[in-house]
Amino acid sequence: MKMTYVLPQTGSTENEEQENWDGRFGDFLIDLQTQEGLTDLTIRQLQLHLRAYDAWLKELGQCWTSARREDIQEYLQQVRDHRSASTLRSKLWSIRRLYAWAGENSIVTVPSCWLTVARRSYERKRMVVPSSRQLQQLLELPDTSTDKGLRDRAVLELLYATGMRAAEILSIKLHQLVKDRCLRIMGKGQVERLVVYGEEAAYWVAQYKAKRQGMLQAAGHSVIATQQLFVSMGKHAAYQYFELRRMICGYARRLNMKLTPHTLRHAFATHLYQGGAALRTIQLLLGHAQLTTSTIYISRKVEDDQKMIRTHHPRGESYKPYRRW
């Protein structure tokens, strides 16, 4: 039986959704999701990129299957000139994957040389990771005398305690919580891993869980409307990514900081490293296939390197020789 791709809900009407949507895009997204196990957030981003690309071509009287080299190049050039480098990489990746799939399915063949664009020379922005003291201030901001504040505190504590991705924490189901303070989750690429967390996070999750049903009912939802651990007090029963990001950004602004859910993942890795955790351990906890990927998540500071030299180098002030025998 052939599967059909259902468009994710947005603020536009169904007719507006279908206007810039080629049915073959749905087949492409289904194949990508089933074969590679991409998250819903990644699929959603792909859908938005495809719709934008297709709408741009239609203004030129073209279709994505008949686009010329100059059409594709002009589109990518406009993205390069008006959007960030990360957006360019994301859109370019989406278009390349689309045409690779189209070639495999004998829809259209586009030479790979058409799907390139000269990048602007830029310095890669280094993520500013908050200190452990700043994170403590952030964790204490939610008003835990309210149900919403309890949920926010539980989410923040669990994010910082585990380094989970936003999509991973939003997908946690009630039945996954166990007494041993560990979670078996399905990460990026449908790779399963074990996530552990401490007593502080466990305490706040338990406090929130006691109020969870009341939150659903107060928002007009059935207590069985969703099995996701974290729920919303809005029109959706399950907590959504935009709500998570807005919550973290809102608390961060009160501290004159700019934070996102992904920043907490970086902070988790950096603070573990500063505390002496081995890179291999951090790699396992983050769920990375390659060690080099984990090193990107660690913001090393000069003072950390100086402390390491003072402690571990024979010429260091605090060096203590280690003798095996």
Phi, psi of 88 (to 5 degrees): -60, -45
DSSP collapsed to 3 states, 170-223: HCCEHHHCCCCCEEEEECHHHCEEEEECCHHHHHHHHHHHCCHHHHHHHCCCCC
Q: How far is CA 137 from CA 125, 156, 201, 273, 300, in A?
A: 25, 11, 15, 21, 22
Active site (annotated) includes residue 265: yes
Catalytic residue (one of 51, 96, 188, 307): 188
The SS3 assignment for 186 reads: strand
Is 288 among the residues known to form the active site? yes
Q: Are 47 and 7 in contact (CB under 8 A)?
A: yes
* Residue 239 contacts residue 232 (beta carbons within 8 Å): yes
CA–CA separation, 228 and 147 (whole Å):
16
Cβ of 77: how many Cβ atoms within 10 Å? 14
How many angstroms separate the Cα of 127 from the Cα of each of 130, 172, 284?
9, 27, 22
> Which of 91, 265, 266, 271 is labelled catalytic?
265
Catalytic residue among 49, 211, 271, 288: 288
- Neighbour count for residue 296 (Cβ, 10 Å): 12
What distance in Å separates the CA atoms of residue 167 and residue 186, rounded to the nearest whole number?
10
Query: By C-alpha distance, which of 79, 81, 77, 59 is closest to 69?
Result: 77
Q: Is position 253 annotated as part of the catalytic site?
A: no
Side chain identity at 118, as an amino acid letter? A
297 flagged as catalytic: yes
- Positive or negative torsion for Cα 108, 189, 41, 216: positive
Q: How does DSSP classify residue 38?
A: -
Q: Which residue in 165, 211, 212, 266 is the catalytic one?
A: 165
CB 115 within 8 A of CB 95: yes
> Locate tokens 């599967």: which residue?
3
Q: Which residues are catalytic?
A: 165, 188, 262, 265, 288, 297
